[in-house]
Structure formats: structure tokens, C-alpha cells
Structure 1
């Protein structure tokens, strides 16, 4: 089947509006009318011009043609291969006889049905049903607090839609989206009917939101567990202490055991993310990190000297002496 470039046949740009298409058609119809034209092959040219105008003057058919033109494959031998699973939104069309005898090309009949209720149709285009719109994908970054509690977010995206003349253009679209509590990294939320519009009355596609976690100033995530590195003083680590620790939903008291070391991990049960699939809640894992002041007072230095003398038998590097 030979592909028909209706824009080229009418001599108009792909973005041409309805008035430009109509004007070009009238000019060419007069030029190639078989009763007056002396052009070579005028009758065939007249038929092609009429067929092109039949499609491009109708916004719905033009939008379907533009989609096919964009997604199909033109072969080197002049043939044309429609996209996989292409479904035409038209069957038989009466009253489209802008040409001298209403006889449209195989290409036209394959897309829109035989011109006079006949049965000519390409094997590539047998199913005469509407085409569903494409699904769209959008990544949305959430703070951990938003993922934990749920939130409302406004998102903006660009979608391809035909205008009143059937020209497919990009349009900005804004949506208010409700994010449920307990979403996880990489999870997809499907918003039915918020994708690209269908062709020929077909259903719109869906919008798939992929959840991403925005970097947090002090939390990281491991599955449903939340990780926190907690600075503690050397005296808190040595003597033990109870300190305030931030969690995803407020501060809690955490007991630091005596003789704690950097790298020791403490678990706060139930302070992680909700796992709805397993109906469980993760924990918060706190990793201790001993921190010292950058500058010590003379009194502190004296105390450190006294501590060094009291603990002179302790050598943390003895493992290197084996």
C-alpha cells in the first residue's frame, strides 16, 4: 500500500489552519478539473486533491491521519507499514465524494473505510474501532514526611492534543493530585483517563506517577526503614545519656547506653515507613557518631589529660599489634 502525503498533495504545511487548507484545495481543484484542465493526468490529480481535502478539512480525520503519519513506517519501496496494533476509528463513509467519482485510494480506504460502503480494506487495518490514547509517565519527588502522611500536590505536564482544526499540538496541563499516605520509592500511581486523548472517540490514556524521594537533610531510606546518623558527645557515649532524636513524625527520647562507640546502631521500633503491601511499619535505625568540639577550654584539656592517665591501659589500636 502506497502512503499518501496529503499535506504535500495540497501544498500546505503540517501546521496549516482550516482556511489555508480550503484555499489551497479550491485553487488546485480548479487547476485539475477534468472539464477545463489541460494538465497531464489531470483527472488523477483531481482525485488526489479531493481525497486529501476530505481528510484534512475534518479535524477528527486529520488528527487520526497525523497520528498514523507520525507513528507508521514508510518503507524504501514506497510501501507503508502502520504502527503495531493500529486500530482505525472509521468504517464506511458515505458522502465524501469531492472527487469526480468518489473513488478513493487504497490508502484512504484502509484508514477510513471503503468510500461507497464497499469492502475494500487492507489486511493491516481490518479492525474498525477507536484508538486509545497513549499513557503518560511522570516522576514526582516527595519529601519523606509527605510520603509518610500523604499530601496534595499540583503537577504540570505537556500532552499532545488535536486543536479545533485537527492539528496535533503540545498543551500544558495542570492537575491537583492526591498522594496517599504510605507510598514508597519507585511506586507507581495510576490516574485513569489523564493521559493523551484517544482518536475517534477512543478512551484517553492514563497518567502513571512514579514516586521518588527527594533528598532529606538528615534521613535516608532503606526499604521501609529510616536511617539517621546521630552525633553524640564523648561523655554521652562514655557515661550513657537520654537524648532527643528526630523521627518522621516528631521527636522521641532515645537512651544511649554506657560505653557506646561510633558505629553502634540503635533501633526505634515503628518509626519507619508504612508498608501497605505487607501491612507492616519499618523502624528507625540510629547510628551513633561520636563528635568532639573543635576547640577545648584549658579546663577541658586538663580533664582530658587526667582521663588519659586514668585509662592508660586502654589501647584501641591493639588489633594492629598482632
Structure 2
């Protein structure tokens, strides 16, 4: 996917106010509107008209603009672009979906970010008064794998895009205390009642939904509540079998490595994954680690093995 410079499309600076963006949009819409471009350049004008609409769809909205600014901080127009997985961490949003852009471009990312955002729900009860529930807010937070196993409390910093008095987008920061439930899994949402936008009239405040992302741990990957981790073993442990200790999430465990184990052999420890009802499983995957030949004695041992074992792991293989 290529990065699109929406500021360049609207011919405004990156620090332009929302009023400046609106004026630039109106000017370019009149210039490229299909009704006034009927000559040989009509096709080019139509594409520019669509590009202007796409750029304005993002930049006119403070939340989408803040997200776009974070996404595009270090990219140039036309460069091959892939958003980092944690680009929206800590951003608090409440806006609606993306409606006009090419879905192969940024539209897909804004759809994912905003599609499930809450909307005010009108309640017409009362004597001539309008009551509406506040919008729900959404944000993503990251936790360690240990916190997923044990739970606990943590302070979370959030940044909510807003407009200042001069019409520029600023990030309003706040810190909240969050209770992490034991057994939370990657992608799960934690609901904080009443932490969204205030309601109108007697309408209740919206809620805040925090999407949990578990931070990557070297040698470990997650599949739902199952935990898959590397089990480093020596060649003799793999060949002869051994009892080995593994420093696993949730506490150390002792495993029996069967003899003749090869790299990739998987051993299951039922119920030792992320806690829950039911809990996930822990899978230890054998990874044979070759000792270094930094000493003369070590080199001689390898040479002795080569002479006496007469083993070719490629024998009988083609290609």
C-alpha cells in the first residue's frame, strides 16, 4: 500500500487549523467538480475530486486527523507503507466510521479503528427535554504476559484528540486506574462504565472500552489462551532424554524430554496456559541448541562424534 499525503492533496500545511482545511477543501471541490470539468481533462479532474474528498474525510475530523498524523509522521507521499501494530496504543477515540475513501487505502484502517464506536442513543422522555446517552470511547492498552496470568491494577495514560480555541488538533491526556482481570487474553475488551462522553440532559455517560494487547515476549507466541514457547535443549538431552526445568509464564515447570526428540517436537501441559474457564494450555516446543566450539577440547569432541557416529541427516533426501 502506498502512503497518501492528505495535506499535500488539500494544499495546506500540517499545522493548518480546521477552518483552513475546510476553506481549502471548498476551493478544490469547486475547481475539480465534474460539472465544471467536461473537456479532455475530465477524467483527471474526477480523480482529483475523489482524492480531495478522501483527504477531507480524514482531516476535517479531529480524531481521524490525530490518527492519520500518528500513522504518517515519518512517511512521504507514494512510499510503500505499512502501519506498525501498536500505532493506536493509548489513543482514545469516540468517532464514527470511514465513509468515502478507497478501502484499499487508509479507509480500511479507519474502519477498523472507528467501526464499533458508540453513538448517542436518544431518549425523548421528559417535558420537552432531550436526553441522550453519551458516546462510548475506545482505546488500546498493552500489558505484560505476567499480568494476563495474574491480573492486577495498573495506571494507563490515554490521549484524546480535541480542538483547541484556535481550531488546531491537540491531545488531551488523562491517566486512569484499570483493574486487569486474571486470565485476560489478547484482543479482549475491558469495559469501564461511565468513562466515555457525558450524556445529554439526564442521559447516562458512555462507557470506555479498552482493547487489551499482550506485549510480545521473546521465544513465546500466543494462540487465544494457549501459550507456545521454545524449550532450548542440548543435543545430548534431545538424544538421550532428560528432565529439564522451564521458566514458564505462571511459574517454573519440569518437563521430561523423550529420547530421540527433534527440533519442533511439541509437549503439552494441560491447563498451564492463560487462566480461564477453561484455561488455555502451555506447549513447549523443543529447540536443539548446538554448543559452541570455542575450546580445543570442544572441537575434538565434535571431531570424535563425526568419526564414530557415521550419521548423515541428508541421506536419502532429494533436492
TM range (shorter): 0.5 to 0.7
Structure 1: 5+ residue stretches without partners = 1-69, 72-82, 93-127, 162-168
In the other structure, the counterpart of 2:259 is 258
Aligned to 1:183: 184
158 and 86 in structure 1: CA distance in 2 versus 1, 3 angstrom threshold: farther
Equivalent residues of 2:120, 2:133 under 8 A apart: no
Partner SS for 2:133: coil
RMSD in angstroms over aligned alpha carbons? 3.3
**Aligned residue for 1:293?**
291
Q: State how far apart, in whole Å, the 1-side matches of 2:159 and 2:200 are.
A: 18
Partner Cα distance (1:84, 1:181) in 2: 32
Give the count of matched residue pairs.
Answer: 199
Structure 1 match to 2:316: 319
Q: 1:90 to 1:217 in 2, by over 3 A?
A: same
Shift of the alpha carbon at 1:194? 0.9
Alpha carbons 1:159, 1:196 under 8 Å: kept = no
Partner of 1:283: 281
Distance 1:149 1:185, change over 3 A: same
Q: Contact 1:232/1:289 (CA < 8 Å) preserved in 2?
A: yes
Question: CA, structure 1 residues 321+178, in 2 after alignment: closer, same or farther (shift >3 Å)?
Answer: closer
Aligned counterparts of 1:205 and 1:84: Cα–Cα separation in 2: 8
Give the TM-score, by structure 1 length: 0.54
* Alignment match, 2:30: none
Note the C-alpha offset of 1:214. Answer: 0.9
The question of 1:273 aligning with 2:270 is answered no
Conservation of the 8 A alpha-carbon contact between 1:89 and 1:131: no
Shift of 1:272: 0.5
Write the deviation string for residues 112-136 of structure 1: whole angstroms up to 9, x where unpaired.
Answer: xxxxxxxxxxxxxxxx431211100
Q: Distance in 2 between matches of 1:187 and 1:300?
A: 50
Matched residue, 2:151: 150
Separation in 2, partners of 1:236, 1:309: 21
Please, which runs of 5 or more residues in structure 2 have no aligned partner? 1-94, 97-118, 163-169
Q: How far apart, CA to CA, are the structure 2 residues paired with 1:231 and 1:244? A: 10
Say if 1:300 and 1:195 are closer, same or farther in 2 by CA, change over 3 A. Answer: same
In structure 2, do the counterparts of structure 1 residues 321 and 135 end up closer, same or farther at CA, with 3 Å as the change threshold?
Answer: closer
Measured at CA, do residues 289 and 216 of structure 1 come closer, stay the same or move farther in structure 2, by a change above 3 Å? same
CA distance in 2 between counterparts of 1:157 and 1:262 reads 43
Equivalent residue number for residue 211 of structure 1? 212
Query: What SS does the corresponding residue of 2:247 show, helix, strand or coil?
Result: strand
Tell me: CA distance 1:283–1:319, structure 2 relative to 1, closer, same or farther (3 Å). farther
Write the deviation string for residues 164-201 of structure 1: whole angstroms up to 9, x where unpaired. xxxxx985433211111011111112111111111223
Q: Using the alignment, how far apart are the partners of 2:305 and 2:187 within structure 1? A: 51
